[in-house]
Amino acid sequence: MTKRQRTLPSTGDVVEPRVLIIAPEDRSRRQLSTLLHRGPEATLLDGLEAYLLERSSRGRQDSPHGFPSTHLRFGEAQILAHEAQAVRQELDELQPRSALQVRKLPDGRMCHPRIDVISADDTEGQLEVRLMEMQPHAVIVLEPTVHAIRTLEVHCALARKGSTPVVKMEAGSDPEPADSKRLAPFQVYLMVFDESVEKYRFEQCMKQESEAVDSLIRFRQHLTFRVDLPTESIAPEQSSRRGGGSRALQGMTKPRVVVDMREFRSTLPFMLYLRGLVVEPVTIPVGDYVLSRDICVERKAVTDLVQSLQSGRLYQQAQNLCHHYANPLLLIEFDPAKGFMLQSSYLIARREIEVGTKDVTGKLPLVVLHFPKLKIIWSPSPRFTADIFLKLKEGRYQPDSKAAAEIDAEDPDDAEGKVKAAQVNSAAFEVLRKLPGVTPGNMNALARRGGSLSGIADLSLEELVEVMGKANAEQLYSFLHASCFPITATQDRGPDQSHDPEGHRAEGPGVQEDAEASEDVAATQKEPIEDASEEVLRVQASEMREKPNLRGLETIVNQVSVKMVWAHRGGGPVCEEEGDLQMLMQRRGMHKAIHDQQGDSMSDVTAPESNPPKWSGSVYVFDPKMENISCTLNSLFSQLGPIETGKFSSLRVALLFKPGKYDLDVPVGYYTQVLGLGKSPEDVAFTGNRGIYGPSQPGNVNFDTFWKGVENLANHPKLLRTTWSVSQAAPMRRVKVYGDLAFGEPGPDGPSKGSGGFAANVKVTGTVDLVRQQQWLLRNCEVQNSTYFNIPPRAVNFVYVGTTGAPKQTARCTNSLEDPETPHPQLLVVEEAPQVLEKPYITISPTGKYSLEIPQVSWRRRGTAWGNAETVDFEQVFVATTQTDPQLINQKLAIGRHVVLSPGIYSLSSPLQIGFNKSITTQVLLGLGMATLVATNGTAAVEVGPFSAGVRVVGLLLQAGTVHSPTLLHWAPNSFYPRNPGLLADIFVRVGGPDSEVVSADIMVKVAGNHVILDNVWAWRADCCQRGCGTCAPRYCNNGVVVDGRYVVSYGLFSEHTQKDLTVWNGEGGMSFFYQSEMDSFAREPWDHTPDYGENGVCGYRINAHNHTGVGIGVYVYFTQPGNLVKSGIVRTRDMGTTLICPFAWNLNPAWYNNSKSGIQSAVGFPTEPVRLF
C-alpha cells in the first residue's frame, strides 16, 4: 500500500499528531493505555496489584480480569492484601516513563503526540464519539472487527464529503471535534497475525456479510407479495399548552405501562420499573406491552422471531395488532455482542440455529409489506428498549389495562366494546392537517364533529370555537369562507397613500424605488382581473415583470438598479429633520406595508422568496458611497437614544451596512441593532473618531441601558477606544475591536456603572475594561488584558468562558455576603466552552444577493470562530413584517423556510411555531432590531415543537399581553442528540414595562427539550416601567426560567423580579456559566401580592436536578420592605453530582446594613422537603 504523506497539525514549532488505537477488549485497552502513559514497569506492577487484590477479595472465584483462582489457605487473604498495598506504594513512587513525552524531531520542531486507546467491544457508540472528538491522523486496529471497520469507513466517507458524522450521545459523553470546520480523513492500520484465529474470524464475518447482501438482492428480485391499501394511523390528541392546562393532562400524571404476565421472565419489566414507570401486570391476549391507548408492542427475541416466521404465528399476531391498535409496533431484540445482519445463520445463545434464507429475507419483508401500519424497532438490549418506550409515551394518553385485557384476539372482526384502531380516510386527514388553525391536538376532535371535509366546511364559527378554541377557529373559518379571487390594488388601496400629508414623497435608503414600484404595480392593475385562474395570474405576473418600466430594472442587477433609480431622481437621500422620527418611519414604511400585505396574501407559499428581500421601512441598508448617512443616524438616535423617549419606545430599527469602510460615528440607542453584511467582521469597518459606540445615560449610570446590539463588524476608531456602555439585553457579537474595549465611559466620579452584560465571539487587540460593571460574561473572546475599576470596588462576578487572554483566576470567591458595601470581585476562568452554537447572521454578495449564514456546532472551543457556517440563499428565507399574517409565517415555517422578522411589534393571537416538521434538521427564526412579539390571546409567543434538532430561535423580544399566558416561550420535549442541538440566543422576555394595563404569565421561558443551548437569555418582570420605578401597573409572573430538559447548557442567564423562584432547573446534566439575578425588589408591598415572600422558601436559583454544574451563580436583592428575609439565594439538592463554583449572594439594600434583617441569609441552602414548582 502506498502511503500518502500528510502534514501534521502544528502550533508554532510544536507538532501535535493524534493517534487512536482500538484494542480488542477492555483488558487489553487498560494494559496498553498504562504502558503508553506510565511505562512497562508500571504496567507490570499495575497488573500484579490487580491480581493480588482480586485473589484476596474473591477467594475461589475467578477474577473479572481473567486471572485464574485457586483455594486460599487461612490468613492468606490478609497476606495478599498487604502485598498489594506494598505494590501500590512502589507504583506510586515509580517515576513515570510515558511514551507520549515531547520529543525533538530532526527538523528541530518538538513533537507532542496524543494517543488514545479504546475498546472495540463497546455497544454505546463510543467509537463514533471518539472519532468525532479526537479527529485522529491515524487509527490502529489491533484485532479488526466488522463493526470497527464499518464505523471507520463511514467516518472517512463523511470526511471526504465535508460532513459531520451522526452520533448517538449518551449521558455524560462529551463529543467535540478538534477541528469543527471540517472532518479530516486518516490512515488506518490493521494489525493482525497471519494465519491466526483472529484473522480467520474476521474473514468469516466479512464473508457472511457479503453473502447476506447478495442474498437480499437476489431474493428481492423474485419476491411476490400482496400489498393491502395502507391504513394510516392518526396521531392521538395531544395536550394543549394553552390556557393553563387541559383535560388531556389529567391522564398523564403517572406514566404507566401494561405488561403481559408472561413477559416477567425477561428483564425488560424491571428496566421499565427503574425508569420510573408504573408496571401493571395483566394477561393480555394481543401484544406484550401496551404503552398508550393506541400503541401496543409485540416483543420478539431473534430465536422467537425465527420460530414465529416458520409457524405463521407472527402473521396472526401482526393482524391482531393492526386491527386493535392504531400504532402497532414489532420490537426485535438482538445480541449486541454479535454482528447482526440478514444472513443465512445467526449465533444465538452460543449455539448455531439454521435459518432458511426464505424465512428471514423473504417472510419478514412480506409481513412488513402486508401490514403497512406495523412498525419494526430493533433494540440491542432491554435498557435501550426501556428508553425507547419512554420516548414513545411522551405526550400520549395512559393505557387502559382493563380494555387491553378484554380484547378478543380470536375474533378480530368483532370490535364491539373493545380497543380498536379507527378506520380513517387518510387522504382527507392529509388535507385537514394542512388547513389553517388545525393542529395535532384538535384535528381528531374536528374530524369527529364534522364527519367529512364538507361537514367541516358547514360548521358555524361557534361550533368551531367549541372544538378548536377561539383563535384557531377564527383562522379556519376565515380561510374556508374567504373569496377565491384576489382583491386588486385599485379595489383595496382606497385613497392615495403614496404621499405624506404634506404632499412630499418619502425619501431615504431604499424608499424611492419602492414607491415607484408601488405606482407601477398599481398602473398594471387598474382594470379588474376577469379571469382569476392560476394560469392567467401567472401570465399577468410574468408580463408585469417583463414590462420595460423602472421596476424592470430589478431584472438586471438589484445592486445596480438601486443606483440607477437614485440617479433617475437626481440625488441621494434627504435626511429628515431631527425629532421627526415618527413621521420618518410612517412615510418610509407606508408603501412597503401595503405592497407586502398584498404580496403575502397572493403569493404561493411554496414559491421561492425574493432575493434581495422586501425589507420593511424599519430596515435601513447603507452603502459606503451613500451621502448623509450620519444625518439619518443622528435623526434616529435623537428619538431612541435618550432614556426618556427611548426606553419604552414603540419604534424598532435595524441598520444594515454593506461591506466597505465608513468614516463616521454611529451612536446606538434603544431598540437599535447595527449589523454588518460581510462574510467576515473585518469586511465592514468603521473608522470615525468613536465608530460604533453606546453612550452612557445622564449621571453616568447605565443600569437601565437595555435592548440594543451590534454584530458582525470591525470598529477601528481613531481614538483606539470603543465604548459600549450597557447592561442586560445589549449583546456584542462577532466584532473585531481595534484598541481597547470599555463597557462604560469615564465620569467626574469615576467610570459609569452597569449591572452586567454579555459579549461573545469578540476579538479585541487591546485591553477589555470592565469599569464599574457589577458582573460580566465574556464567552469565546480573544483579549490581550482585562481590567476593572476597584476604587471603591463595585464588581463581584466576572466569568470568562473559552476566552484567550483571560486574567488569572482569583484564589478566593467574592465576599459579597459578608461585605456587601466593598466586596472584592471573583474572576472565574473556564478554559473551554463545552458546546457552542453561534448566532446566525446575514451577508450580502457583490451582486446584491442576500444569504443567511448558519454557524455549526463546535465542542470545547477556545477563542473566536468566524467561519464554519452553512450558507442559505434568501430564496429559502422568508422576510416578514408587522403587516404579515402570523398564519402565513407559520405556513412558511411548516414547509421548512427560515424566517427573518423585520423590526417592529407583532401582536400574536396564536404562537409562531417552529420545530413541528419532522423532516427538517435545521431551521432559523431570526429577529432584527429587537423584533417584539406580544402574546395577546393567552398563548405563548413562540412554541418550539418536538422535532427541534437544529432549531435556532434568536434575536427576539417577547412580551406578555393582557390575557394571561402559561408561558411566553415554550420549548417542547424532544429526543435528539447533542450533535445537532437547539439554540436560544439573545432572547429577552418581559412581563410589564411599557404596559399601562395588567399583564401576566406564569413562566417566561420554559425549556423542556433536551440538548438546548441558552446563549444570553434575560427574563425580566419589570421593576421600573413607563410610569417610573415601583409605580407599574400590576404584572404577575411566577418564574423567569424553568429548565426541564436534559443536557441544557447556558451561557449568560439573567432572571429578575418574579414573584416566586427566579429560575428552576429540573433537567439532569445541565451546565450554567454565569447567572445574574435580582429578586423581587418590591416583595411584601401591598400592590405586589407577595405577602409571604421569604417565608415560602422562595429563592433565586433552585436546583432540583441530581447532576448539575454552575459557575458564577449569583443572586442579589434590594428590598424596599424591612423584615423581608430570604433563607438562601440558591437552593440545591445534596447529591454529589451537583457542583457549584463560587456561588454568591449580595444584599444591596441599606435595610440590611441597619440590622433590619431584610435580605439573603446564606448563598446556598438545601431543601428540607421535596420542592414542587406548583
Query: Is residue 632 included in any domain, yes or no?
Result: no
Neighbours of 567 (CB within 10 A): 10
pLDDT at 528: 37
Residue 420: pLDDT over 60: no
* Residue finishing a domain among 480, 507, 522: 480
Could you tell me the three cell numbers for 326? 392504531
Question: Which amino acid, residue 77?
Answer: A
Identify the CA nearest to 582 among candidates 653, 512, 647.
653
pLDDT band with cut points at 50, 70 and 90 for residue 311: confident
User: What average pLDDT does the chain have?
Assistant: 77
Whether residues 363 and 447 fall in one domain: no
Q: Are 703 and 696 in contact (CB under 8 A)?
A: no
Query: Is residue 149 included in any domain, yes or no?
Result: yes
Whether residues 1099 and 960 fall in one domain: yes
Whether residues 471 and 584 fall in one domain: no
> Is the model more confident about 538 or about 859?
859
Could you tell me the three cell numbers for 871? 450558507
pLDDT at 1120: 82
CATH of the domain at 933: 2.160.20.10
CATH of the domain at 276: 3.40.50.10130
Beta bridge partners of 969: 942, 1005
Neighbours of 1087 (CB within 10 A): 11
Rounded Cα distance between 592 and 533, Å, is 26
pLDDT at 163: 54
Beta bridge partners of 537: none
Identify the CA nearest to 268 among candidates 254, 281, 255.
281
Could you tell me the three cell numbers for 596? 407586502
The one-character DSSP state at 1036 is: E
Average pLDDT over residues 840-864: 95
Query: Is residue 119 included in any domain, yes or no?
Result: yes
Per-residue model confidence as pLDDT tens digits over 1055-1112: 999 999 999 999 999 999 999 999 988 888 888 888 888 888 899 999 999 999 999 9
Query: Is residue 684 included in any domain, yes or no?
Result: no
pLDDT at 13: 61
> Is the model more confident about 42 or about 1141?
1141
* Helix 581-602 × helix 512-524 angle, to 10°: 40
Query: Which of 61-70, 106-115, 899-908, 1039-1048 bottoms out in mean pLDDT, i.e. has the lowest?
Result: 61-70
Whether residues 473 and 510 fall in one domain: no
Whether residues 130 and 258 fall in one domain: no
Domain span at 44: 10-190
Query: Is residue 732 included in any domain, yes or no?
Result: no
Identify the CA nearest to 757 among candidates 811, 824, 710.
710
* Residue finishing a domain among 405, 440, 466: 405
Q: How many helices (H) and strands (E) does the chain have?
A: 27, 64
Rounded Cα distance between 107 and 210, Å, is 47
Please give the tally of structural domains in the chain: 5
pLDDT at 1104: 94
Whether residues 35 and 182 fall in one domain: yes
Query: Is residue 883 included in any domain, yes or no?
Result: yes
Helix (H, G, I), strand (E, B) or coil at 892: helix
E strand residue ranges, 653-802: 653-657, 660-662, 666-667, 672-676, 684-686, 692-693, 708-715, 721-723, 732-737, 740-742, 753-754, 757-760, 763-764, 767-769, 772-773, 775-779, 785-787, 797-801
Q: Which position has the grid cell 431474493?
A: 219
Whether residues 275 and 301 fall in one domain: yes
Whether residues 914 and 928 fall in one domain: yes
Q: Are 817 and 796 in contact (CB under 8 A)?
A: no
* Residue finishing a domain among 416, 451, 480: 480
Q: Are 527 and 544 in contact (CB under 8 A)?
A: no
Which residues, including other chains, have CB under 8 Å from residue 1085's CB and lie 6 or more apart? 1030, 1120, 1121
Rounded Cα distance between 424 and 433, Å, is 13
pLDDT at 781: 97
Identify the CA nearest to 654 among candidates 906, 866, 842.
842
Could you tell me the three cell numbers for 978? 447533542
Measured in degrees and rounded to the nearest 5, phi and psi for residue 29 equal -60, -45
pLDDT band with cut points at 50, 70 and 90 for residue 350: very low
Query: Is residue 235 included in any domain, yes or no?
Result: no
Strand bridging mode 103-104 / 110-111: antiparallel
pLDDT at 895: 93
pLDDT at 890: 95
Whether residues 51 and 138 fall in one domain: yes
Q: Are 562 and 510 in contact (CB under 8 A)?
A: yes
Query: Which of 269-273, 692-696, 726-730 bottoms out in mean pLDDT, i.e. has the lowest?
Result: 269-273
Query: Which of 204-208, 410-414, 466-470 bottoms out in mean pLDDT, i.e. has the lowest?
Result: 410-414
Whether residues 460 and 488 fall in one domain: no
Per-residue model confidence as pLDDT tens digits over 615-631: 999 999 999 999 889 98
Neighbours of 698 (CB within 10 A): 8
pLDDT band with cut points at 50, 70 and 90 for residue 12: low
Using left for φ > 0, alpha for ψ between -120 and 50, and beta otherwise, residue 892 falls in alpha
Report the predicted TM-score, pTM, of the whole model to 2 decimal places: 0.56
pLDDT at 179: 41
Residue 699: pLDDT over 90: no
Whether residues 24 and 105 fall in one domain: yes
Q: Are 914 and 923 in contact (CB under 8 A)?
A: yes
Average pLDDT over residues 166-180: 40
Query: Is residue 529 included in any domain, yes or no?
Result: yes
Per-residue model confidence as pLDDT tens digits over 628-638: 899 899 989 98
Residue 446: pLDDT over 90: no
pLDDT at 339: 53
Whether residues 273 and 328 fall in one domain: yes
Strand bridging mode 942-944 / 965-971: parallel
Measured in degrees and rounded to the nearest 5, phi and psi for residue 953 equal -110, 110
Q: Are 331 and 297 in contact (CB under 8 A)?
A: yes
Average pLDDT over residues 124-129: 66
